Structure 1
Amino acid sequence: MSFSLPIFLFLGIVVLIFSFFTVKQQTAAIVERFGRFQIIRHSGLQLKIPLVDKIAGRLSLKIQQLDVIIETKTLDDVFVRLKVSVQYKVIKDKVYDAFYKLDYPHDQITSYVFDVVRAEVPKMKLDDVFVKKDDIALAVKAELNDAMLDYGFDIIKTLVTDIDPDPQVKAAMNRINAADREKTAAQYEGDAQRILIVEKAKAEAESKRLQGQGIADQRREIARGLEESVDVLNRVGINSQEASALIVVTQHYDTLQAIGSETNSNLILLPNSPQAGSNMLNDMVASFTASNQIGEAMKENKKKNS
């Protein structure tokens, strides 16, 4: 009798220990009694009958992700590999359906993704696959929602995360893209070169115009100065011919003086002899005298003829 009490006490402790179990957060535990579904337990400390009740399994209620890689052909006969990421979770109120109606949910989801992608992508050209990848993802989500809802799964989101054409096609696409970029760059360079030429021509034309305007202004001022000098000389009794000769000789010597002040000048003024000024003055006076004589003779002839 003394030995039976500790045994019963030990068995009672064991039974008590095996009567309790814990369920983690965002997890559901399925309890069966003699192989038959009994109840679903959620997070916290839970109680079951030892040797009668058994935890048949646990399901995570967190959002899970399944990546599916599919190889298919496009409308323009290009083989392409797509990676579709499916985010799903077990519906809390449908844990029973998720546990008992479907043994391998990953395989089921994969089959539906294959079916939808291989039905949609062959209708598109390769360029359209890149542009309409969101449409493909929406089509996969709609199909999975209809199919997996009965099994207790909620499809949160589907994403086409990668599109990988055949390597040869990818290389050809890269060459086409590079050629287009080189063409665009050449066009921009040609436009820039043309703009530079036009602007340079405009600048040269403006420079020539300003240079011509400057020369014209310079000559106008020189003429005005000569006119004023002649007027001053006329007022002191020097006629116009003598005044012009005197101005020319004065400018000649001013020019020689300016050349002499420049040490590195390469300019040579011809004639440059000491008698050049005197000769120039004599020649000019003779020229003016001959011109006046010719003018007078022409006036006499006009009078006789008239």
Structure 2
Amino acid sequence: MFYVFLTITILALLFVFMTVKVVPQQTAYVVERLGKFYAVLQPGINFIIPFFDRVAYRHSLKEAALDIPEQICITRDNVQVRVDGVIFIQVVDPQKASYGIADYRFAVSQLSQTTMRSEIGKIELDKTFEERMTINRAVVQSIDEAAISWGVKVLRYEIKNITPPQTVLNAMEKQMQAEREKRAVILQSEGEKQSAINLAEGQKQKVVLESEGIRLRQINEAAGEAEAIITVADATAESIRKVAEAIQQRGGMDAVQLRVAEQLVDQFGKLARTNNTLILPANFGDMASIISSAMTVVKHQEQVK
């Protein structure tokens, strides 16, 4: 009796185990009934009929990353490069992922490789490094169109490495070195050019400043000479005015006659000392007449004034 009870208990537990299916979060179970698709079990507790229903496929609905093996691609300019990458996919329809294709992971990997070879063949080697984003988008678009019937969504594709042959790497290194040397020469020439411009500009400013200094000096000298001439003229005019005022005083004319006689005698004395030949006026003996003539001139100037 005990063994019968134990057997029934074990069968009941086995029946419950086969009937109840607990589906984890972000997971989908595909159930077949008598070999035909029946339903997709959602996360949580689900019940099936033992011996009639079975879980045929289990799919993770999480985003998955597939490594794309390295492959040899030929660029537009006939250069072989090695390219590898990684693709991110997600199952969006468990039924199609189960029955639309035998192995969607393998299919996505193979399609990624063929699409990559096709896209690399459209561009030249120099642009393969610049066009990474374009290549990535092209691969995603191409695979996503084919993966619709597989129940798989291609999220993104990323190129990991692009490795040209060693000879090409050496040539690229030489090219980069030549470019750096070219830029260095250009920068040096630009620096020399700017230096020459600065020197010429400085020399120009120097000449301008020197000419400005000479002009200002000449202006100052001319102004000083003009002021000196004006000062001398003013002094001469003042002295003449004072002499004229003195002449107008009582006894002024007598003083002038005496001064003229002194100047006349003095000048004739100098002529006698400096020259061997002395020319004298005809009436030199009549000194009074000579002085009278000089005074006539003085009076005439006074009348004119």
TM over 0.5: yes
Q: Could you report, residue by residue, the CA deviation over 1:166-213 in whole angstroms, capped at 9, with x for unpaired residues?
A: 233234223323422332342233223212222221222222222222
Aligned counterpart, 2:40: 40
Higher radius of gyration, 1 or 2? 2
Shift in Å, 1:58? 0.8
Q: How does 1:5-20 map to 2 (within 5 A)?
A: 5=5, 7-20=7-20
Aligned counterpart, 2:183: 184
Q: Which amino acid aligns with 1:71?
A: I
- The 1:5–1:120 alpha-carbon spacing in structure 2 relative to 1, beyond 3 Å, is closer
SS at match of 2:21: strand
Aligned counterpart, 2:174: 175
- The 1:232–1:24 alpha-carbon spacing in structure 2 relative to 1, beyond 3 Å, is same
Aligned counterpart, 2:154: 155
Q: Which amino acid aligns with 1:45?
A: I
Distance in 2 separating the partners of 1:66 and 1:19: 35
Distance in 1 separating the partners of 2:200 and 2:33: 99
Q: Which amino acid aligns with 2:39?
A: I
Distance in 2 separating the partners of 1:110 and 1:10: 46
Q: How does 1:100-139 map to 2 (within 5 A)?
A: 100-139=99-138
Distance in 1 separating the partners of 2:113 and 2:137: 14
Is 1:74 the counterpart of 2:75? The answer is yes
SS at match of 1:70: strand
Distance in 1 separating the partners of 2:60 and 2:182: 56
Shift in Å, 1:11? 3.6
Q: Which amino acid aligns with 2:152?
A: F
Distance in 1 separating the partners of 2:95 and 2:56: 11
- The 1:210–1:81 alpha-carbon spacing in structure 2 relative to 1, beyond 3 Å, is same
| More displaced 10-residue stretch of structure 1: 16-25 or 32-41 | 32-41
Distance in 2 separating the partners of 1:37 and 1:127: 52
Q: Which amino acid aligns with 1:129?
A: T
Matched residues, number: 236
Shift in Å, 1:147? 3.2
Aligned counterpart, 1:232: 231
Aligned counterpart, 1:196: 195
Is 1:214 the counterpart of 2:213? The answer is yes
Distance in 1 separating the partners of 2:147 and 2:227: 110
Q: Which amino acid aligns with 2:74?
A: K
- The 1:223–1:3 alpha-carbon spacing in structure 2 relative to 1, beyond 3 Å, is closer
Q: Could you report, residue by residue, the CA deviation over 1:33-73 in whole angstroms, capped at 9, with x for unpaired residues?
A: 56655432121111234455433331112222223232212
Shift in Å, 1:227? 4.1
Distance in 2 separating the partners of 1:211 and 1:146: 81
Aligned counterpart, 1:29: 29
Distance in 2 separating the partners of 1:218 and 1:138: 78
Distance in 2 separating the partners of 1:212 and 1:132: 62
Identity over aligned pairs, percent? 25
Unaligned runs of 5+ in 1: 239-306
SS at match of 2:77: coil
| More displaced 10-residue stretch of structure 1: 196-205 or 152-161 | 152-161
Distance in 1 separating the partners of 2:59 and 2:45: 17
Distance in 1 separating the partners of 2:7 and 2:111: 57
Shift in Å, 1:237? 5.8
What TM-score does the superposition give when structure 1 sets the normalisation length? 0.64
Q: For the aligned residues, what is the CA RMSD?
A: 3.1
Unaligned runs of 5+ in 2: 238-305
SS at match of 1:127: helix
Distance in 1 separating the partners of 2:212 and 2:147: 89
